[in-house]
């Protein structure tokens, strides 16, 4: 592989490469893994867990609502310190923005949606490539007959949401909502839980009084204060490397991966990888590459097939539409009617219906983090080259002369159909072939009614003893 471009890594200290030291000391749990799903969740460092545990073992932290307790005051002071650190991380202050802790980005957006005073005079505008959690606010706006339309614009925010595991991996289940103080009066929260009220009366509804501090009004119940304390180490890790250096590092990795993927060609000269986006024109395109792969004759490789094979090689990627139907629709060239037709055929988020009518229903996403390395990219490119790049020229099916004379040396001895995933096979002498292979092969799955997830032999080995049978004439499964 070629050498990395300018911006890769974090230099050296006393002759020792900082990135190599970082991986060796804090991310040893990544050994043998190629983790390329940092947009889904980045990886926590061992130092974050160790420092958090040390903090808890050396101090006593109490419920912040028990204000007279010294352990409670310690908790409150520590949480306020994290609020200040987070505001500084986003280049603002607590004088301009208040920091409200939530369970994550989605909870923050929901809080805005249910608290904003939508009316018939309101307009809710959103980008076409908005995340589903943003699209969810439409229901609040529509309930008040507000106008709703999509608009590709960018403003300095009155509200900003984030999840900590996206920034530094640990803790999960915790996020923050930053509210511009000048915009806070517009939010009318409909529910007030414990800790949000300065005064409350069980017999007088209108006499209840919310706390004056914005974050106190919006943080229902007891905060996950022990988890909040874990954010200090994660934020410090990013500050030590500096965000400009991290940006340069992931940009160099993205550019390197883009050039490597776009250079791949099959033996007949056909392109292997189609990348969605403007990475080749935008030096600040970010750390994400969304793509699909194709065969020498131009047929698409299903993202489900790709991710299954990648998982066998400890390569971690994300596939599908990434909770972003607008971007998926735009880049895949799908109309709304086509997406509705996909849904009518049974396609839902997270399933394996990756190709419908010879077109992909989603994509493969590769994303980098501050601890990602050139070796991660090289391993991914080598995987793609090994399994998805043809080294021999193949004729398109339409150009093949199909004959029925089978050489004596080639003999089909057995046909096995697996109607239910993870169950035993049905052996047949002859069988129909459909658009996706053997008809009804792996067509069904046994589903856990409690979770909605399909059972597998990994959790239920006895499934292999079940022998389902498909009766084509009666159109029944036995």
Q: Do both 301 and 174 map to the same domain?
A: no
Asked about 323 being catalytic, the answer comes back as yes
**In 3-state terms, what secondary structure has residue 447?**
strand
Q: Which residues pair with 123 in a beta bridge?
A: 147
Q: Rounded to whole angstroms, how far apart are CA atoms 275 and 285? A: 13
Q: How far apart are the first and last CA of the chain?
A: 53
State how far Cα 307 lies from the chain centre: 14
Let me know: does 176 contact 100? Beta carbons within 8 Å: yes
Among the candidates 195, 224, 240, a domain finishes at 240
Spatial neighbors of 384 by CB under 8 A, at least 6 apart, are 261, 264, 272, 273, 293
Q: Do both 351 and 389 map to the same domain?
A: yes
Catalytic residue of the set 231, 273, 323, 328: 323
Position 446 in a domain: yes
Q: Rounded to whole angstroms, how far apart are CA atoms 72 and 64? A: 5
Is residue 171 reached through a cis peptide bond, with omega within 30 degrees of 0 on the bond before it? Answer: yes
Q: Rounded to whole angstroms, how far apart are CA atoms 208 and 357? A: 59
Q: Which residues pair with 289 in a beta bridge?
A: 366
Q: What is the pLDDT along the chain (478 residues), one digit of tens a residue?
A: 456 767 899 999 999 999 999 999 999 999 999 999 999 999 999 999 999 999 999 999 999 988 789 999 999 999 999 999 999 999 999 999 999 999 888 888 888 888 877 677 767 666 656 655 565 655 655 665 665 444 444 456 788 889 999 999 999 999 999 999 998 988 888 777 777 777 777 777 676 777 778 898 888 889 999 999 999 999 999 999 999 999 999 999 999 999 999 999 999 999 999 999 876 667 667 899 999 999 999 999 999 889 989 999 999 999 988 777 878 887 788 888 888 888 888 888 877 888 888 898 889 999 999 999 999 999 999 999 999 998 865 455 455 455 556 566 677 888 999 999 889 999 999 998 876 678 888 888 888 888 777 888 878 889 889 999 999 888 889 8
Among the candidates 334, 362, 397, a domain finishes at 397
Q: Do both 256 and 228 map to the same domain?
A: no
DSSP 217-258: HH--SS--HHHHHTHHHHHHHHHHH-HHHHHHHHHHHHHHHH
The CATH number of residue 111's host domain is 3.40.640.10
Q: DSSP label at 36?
A: -
State the residue range of the domain holding 100.
Answer: 48-122+153-240
The number of domains in the chain is 3
Alpha helices in 314-356 (DSSP H): 325-332, 336-344
Q: Rounded to whole angstroms, how far apart are CA atoms 293 and 272? A: 6
Q: Do both 286 and 350 map to the same domain?
A: yes
Q: Which of 166, 456, 467, 449 is CA-nearest to residue 308?
A: 456
């Amino acid at each position: 592989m070629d050498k990395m471009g300018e911006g890769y890594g974090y230099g050296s200290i006393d002759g020792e490469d900082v990135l190599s030291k970082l991986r060796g000391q804090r991310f040893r749990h990544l050994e043998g893994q190629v983790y390329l799903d940092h947009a889904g969740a980045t990886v926590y460092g061992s130092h974050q867990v160790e420092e958090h545990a040390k903090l808890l073992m050396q101090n006593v932290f109490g419920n912040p609502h028990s204000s007279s307790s010294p352990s409670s005051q310690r908790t409150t002071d520590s949480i306020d310190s994290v609020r200040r650190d987070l505001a500084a991380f986003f280049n603002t202050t607590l004088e301009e923005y208040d920091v409200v802790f939530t369970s994550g980005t989605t909870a923050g957006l929901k809080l805005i949606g249910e608290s904003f005073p939508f009316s018939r005079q309101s307009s809710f505008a959103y980008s076409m490539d908005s995340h589903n959690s943003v699209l969810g606010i439409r229901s609040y706006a529509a309930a008040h007959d507000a106008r709703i339309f999509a608009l590709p614009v960018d403003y300095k925010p009155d509200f900003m949401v984030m999840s900590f595991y996206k920034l530094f991996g640990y803790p999960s289940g915790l996020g923050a909502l930053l509210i511009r103080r000048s915009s806070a009066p517009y939010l009318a929260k409909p529910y007030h839980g414990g800790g949000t009220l300065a005064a409350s009366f069980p017999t007088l509804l209108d006499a209840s009084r919310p706390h004056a501090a914005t974050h106190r009004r919006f943080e229902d119940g007891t905060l996950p204060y022990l988890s909040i304390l874990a954010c200090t180490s994660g934020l410090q890790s990013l500050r030590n490397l500096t965000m400009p250096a991290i940006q340069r590092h992931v940009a160099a990795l993205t550019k390197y991966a883009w050039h490597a993927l776009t250079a791949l060609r099959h033996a007949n000269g056909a392109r292997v990888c189609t990348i969605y986006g403007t990475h080749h024109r935008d030096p600040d395109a970010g750390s994400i590459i969304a793509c699909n792969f194709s065969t020498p004759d131009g047929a698409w490789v299903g993202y489900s097939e790709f991710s299954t094979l990648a998982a066998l090689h400890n390569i971690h990627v994300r596939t599908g539409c990434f909770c972003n139907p607008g971007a998926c629709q735009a880049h895949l060239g799908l109309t709304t009617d086509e997406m509705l037709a996909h849904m009518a055929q049974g396609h839902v988020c997270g399933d394996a219906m990756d190709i419908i009518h010879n077109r992909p229903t989603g994509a493969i996403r590769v994303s980098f983090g501050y601890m990602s390395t050139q070796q991660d990219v090289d391993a991914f490119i080598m995987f793609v080259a090994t399994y998805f790049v043809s080294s021999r020229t193949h004729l398109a099916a339409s150009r093949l002369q199909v004959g029925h004379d089978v050489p004596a040396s080639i003999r089909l001895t057995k046909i096995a159909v697996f109607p239910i995933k993870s169950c035993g096979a049905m052996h047949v002498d002859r069988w129909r072939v459909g658009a996706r292979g053997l008809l009804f092969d792996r067509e069904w799955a046994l589903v856990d009614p409690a979770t909605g997830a399909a059972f597998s032999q990994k959790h239920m080995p006895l499934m292999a003893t079940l022998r389902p049978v498909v009766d084509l004439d009666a159109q029944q499964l036995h």
